[in-house]
Amino acid sequence: MNIDDLLRDEDAGWTELHLLIDPLSPAEAETPGYFPEGWSVKDLIGHLGSWLAEAGIALERIRVGTYRAGELDIDAKNEEFLDALRPLTLRETHAQAEAARAQTLRTLRSLPEVSEDAAWWIEKAGPAHYAKHLPRLREWAEELRSGALPAGDHA
């Protein structure tokens, strides 16, 4: 996949996420229930931003020639990110995600070529990752808007 396709797909996914996230009130965005483990939309934003930051680090390593592909403990990283970001406010979480995305896209654009590893990181942290979360986000946003949450399913 070339850089223009990657950027187009990433932007389309990011835009779709925000069409669902942005209309939510802060209280809705912080309501647990997006995932059964108690995630809120705020947690999702932090999760996506954290993986974009990881992609940015990987792309920077690719750019300078120090990247080494290896095993990645995704569940452990997800827990690490959640623990680190949960104390942040919604505004701080949005800022972290936006900054991570901006830096990652800047780094992607700075690459002399988009290697297979670079494309993998962008796809996995961006379009494919967004696509994985969009179906549940659509459902959850509708549940929040409709007030159809059963008692005890939210704060």
Residue 92, phi then psi, degrees to nearest 5:
-65, -40
Range of the domain at 138: 3-20+34-144
Q: What angle do CA 100, 103, 108 make, to 5 degrees?
A: 120
Q: Tens of pLDDT along 22-35?
A: 999 999 999 999 99
Decide if 26 is inside a domain.
no
Q: Tens of pLDDT along 5-63?
A: 999 999 999 999 999 999 999 999 999 999 988 899 999 999 999 999 999 999 999 99
Residue 78 has a pLDDT of: 84
Q: Tens of pLDDT along 80-91?
A: 998 899 999 999
Rounded to whole angstroms, the Cα distance separating 36 from 73 reads 21
Residue 113 has a pLDDT of: 93
Decide if 116 is inside a domain.
yes
Band the pLDDT of 148: cuts 50, 70, 90: low
Rounded to whole angstroms, the Cα distance separating 144 from 30 reads 11
Decide if 154 is inside a domain.
no
Q: Tens of pLDDT along 85-141?
A: 999 999 999 999 999 999 999 999 999 999 999 999 999 999 999 999 999 999 999
Q: Structural domain tally of the chain?
A: 1
Share of the chain above pLDDT 70, in %: 94
